[in-house]
């Protein structure tokens, strides 16, 4: 196998492991997405590096494989998981599709999916990931750097670059 | 010089050259990507002045990829380099301010509110969100892109394209082990 093939094999092996671990963890910890992402990333990374050590113990191949594996995992989370799990557009589309040919009114949609359901899920995410703190009936911000909002920060940064 | 030492030196030399070549290939890929990104920034500003949808500016990355493949550079690591280039482009697209991906997510609004106000009660937090902005605006986005149709009676009905996307997402959700909540 060529070095190119080895890099691809290691990266995709790591990525498949990441997807499997993440799918298993998110089933058990649906309100702890950050924990599930980091745990599965580290677990899959170690397994991929063991595989790399067996197939080609060359530093540059391992480094490039790690870079490619990180890109694949990042795309899975940012491009696939976040859009499928937390996109409001996707959820609304699914509710309308679920209504079939009879259709759904705006009031009917609100009975199934509303501000309450949206915010409950987000608050649970933010509290469990340590971004915000809930004391009794009040919320407080905890961190200056938020991993959960990395994508939003990137969007804001790119909006500045692209110009309004 | 003994043959064994010469062989060992030759092996080390090959490793250094090989390792440098892998790194150099990846470096060139990343540089080409950043060059395409700089070009895209310029194109976005031109398209905006011409009132053309800025999404078309992403075609510069396809041009970059074609140039990349035509020149055949960086040789032995072409598949890895091309995949890295494609993934960097896709990651940039998912993080770009494209209307359907949404700029202001509820999570970012919650954090922004808490950064400004320091302490907020549950009622204050819920009051900060407008249901029409949160749901109706997004429902209208789906109508605008042709996934959902609005009937005269005020009911929203799924269109064929929307149904296919919805079914695909439903399958993905099952595979990923996600629950509706």
DSSP letter string over chain A? --HHHHHHHHHHHHHHHHHHHHHHHHHH-TT-HHHHHHHHHHHHHHHHHHHHHHH---HHHHHHHHHHHHHHHHHIIIIIIHHHHT-HHHHHHHHHHHTGGG-EEHHHHHHHS-HHHHHHHHHHHHHHTTSEEEETTEEEE--SS-STTHHHHHHHHHHHHH--
What does the pLDDT read at residue B98?
A: 54
How do residues A34-89 score in pLDDT, each as one tens digit? 888 999 999 999 999 898 888 877 888 888 889 999 999 999 988 888 888 888 88
What does the pLDDT read at residue A162?
A: 74
What does the pLDDT read at residue B57?
A: 79
Instruction: Select the more confidently predicted residue: A159 or B110.
Output: B110
Kindly give the parts of chain B with pLDDT less than 50.
100-102
Q: Which residue of B has its CA nearest to A151?
A: B95
What residues form DSSP beta bridges with B148?
B158
Task: Please give the Cα distance from B93 to B87 (Å, whole number).
Answer: 10
Q: Is the dihedral of CA B46, B49, B52, B55 positive or negative?
A: positive
Q: Which residue of A has its CA nearest to B105?
A: A152
Q: Give the mean pLDDT of A97-114.
A: 88
For the entire predicted model, the pTM comes to 0.78
What does the pLDDT read at residue A78?
A: 85
Q: Rounded to a whole number, what is the distance in Å from the CA of B31 to chain A's nearest CA?
A: 15
Band of residue A15 on the pLDDT scale cut at 50, 70, 90 = very high
What does the pLDDT read at residue A47?
A: 93
What does the pLDDT read at residue B42?
A: 85
For B170, list phi and psi in degrees, rounded to 5: -60, -40
Which residues on B lie below 8 Å from A93 (Cβ)?
Answer: 142, 147-148, 158, 162, 165-166, 169
Nearest Cα neighbor of B163 from A70, A61, A98 is: A98
What does the pLDDT read at residue A69?
A: 94
Task: Please give the Cα distance from A133 to A130 (Å, whole number).
Answer: 7
Count, residues in chain B: 181
Q: Cα dist. A25→A18, A22, A29, A39, A146 in Å?
A: 10, 5, 6, 8, 21
Q: Are A162 and B54 in contact (CB under 8 A)?
A: yes
What does the pLDDT read at residue B75?
A: 60
What does the pLDDT read at residue A86?
A: 80
Task: Please give the Cα distance from A154 to B158 (Å, whole number).
Answer: 32
Using DSSP's 3-state secondary structure scheme, residue B181 falls into coil
What does the pLDDT read at residue A122?
A: 86
Q: Give the mean pLDDT of A100-115.
A: 88
What does the pLDDT read at residue B10?
A: 58
What does the pLDDT read at residue B72?
A: 64
Q: Give the mean pLDDT of A122-128.
A: 84
Which residues touch B137 (CB under 8 Å, ≥6 apart)? none
Task: Please give the Cα distance from A92 to B170 (Å, whole number).
Answer: 13
What does the pLDDT read at residue A81?
A: 87
Residue to test with chain B: of A12, A14, A80, A97, most B Cβ within 10 A: A97
Nearest Cα neighbor of B74 from B30, B11, B10 is: B30
Q: Which residue of A has its CA nearest to B97?
A: A155
What does the pLDDT read at residue A146?
A: 65
Nearest Cα neighbor of A56 from B151, B15, B53 is: B15
What single DSSP character describes residue B45? Answer: H
Which residues on A lie below 8 Å from B121 (Cβ)?
Answer: 137-139
With 80 as the cut, is the pLDDT of residue A94 above it? yes
Which residues on B lie below 8 Å from A99 (Cβ)?
Answer: 156-158
* Contact across the interface for A155 and B96, Cβ inside 8 Å: yes
What does the pLDDT read at residue A128?
A: 82
């Amino acid at each position: 196998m060529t070095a190119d093939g080895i890099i691809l094999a290691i990266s995709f092996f790591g990525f498949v492991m990441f997807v499997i671990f993440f799918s298993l963890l998110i089933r058990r910890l649906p309100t702890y997405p950050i924990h599930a992402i980091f745990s599965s990333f580290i677990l899959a990374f170690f397994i991929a590096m063991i595989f790399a050590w067996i197939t080609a113990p060359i530093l540059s191949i391992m480094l490039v494989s790690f870079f490619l594996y990180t890109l694949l995992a990042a795309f899975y989370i940012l491009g696939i998981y976040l859009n499928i799990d937390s996109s409001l557009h996707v959820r609304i589309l699914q509710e309308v599709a679920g209504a079939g040919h009879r259709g759904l009114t705006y009031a009917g949609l609100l009975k199934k999916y509303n501000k309450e359901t949206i915010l409950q899920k987000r608050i649970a995410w933010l509290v469990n990931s340590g971004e915000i703190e809930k004391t009794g009936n009040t919320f407080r911000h905890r961190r200056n750097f938020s991993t959960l909002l990395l994508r939003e920060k990137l969007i804001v940064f790119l909006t500045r670059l692209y110009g309004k | 010089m003994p043959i064994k030492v010469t062989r060992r030196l030759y092996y080390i030399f090959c490793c250094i050259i090989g390792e440098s070549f892998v790194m150099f290939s990846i470096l060139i890929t990343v540089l080409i990507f950043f060059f395409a990104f700089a070009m895209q920034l310029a194109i976005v500003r031109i398209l905006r002045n011409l009132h053309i949808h800025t999404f078309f500016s992403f075609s510069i990355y396809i041009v970059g990829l074609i140039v990349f493949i035509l020149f055949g550079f960086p040789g032995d690591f072409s598949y890895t380099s091309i995949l890295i280039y494609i993934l960097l482009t896709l990651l940039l697209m998912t993080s770009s301010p494209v209307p359907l991906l949404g700029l202001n997510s509820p999570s970012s609004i919650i954090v922004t509110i808490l950064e400004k106000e320091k302490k907020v009660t549950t009622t204050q937090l819920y009051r900060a969100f407008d249901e029409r902005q949160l749901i109706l605006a997004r429902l209208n986005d789906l109508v605008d892109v042709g996934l959902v149709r609005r009937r005269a009676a005020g009911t929203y009905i799924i269109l064929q394209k929307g149904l296919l996307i919805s079914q695909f997402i439903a399958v993905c959700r099952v595979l990923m082990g996600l629950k509706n909540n």
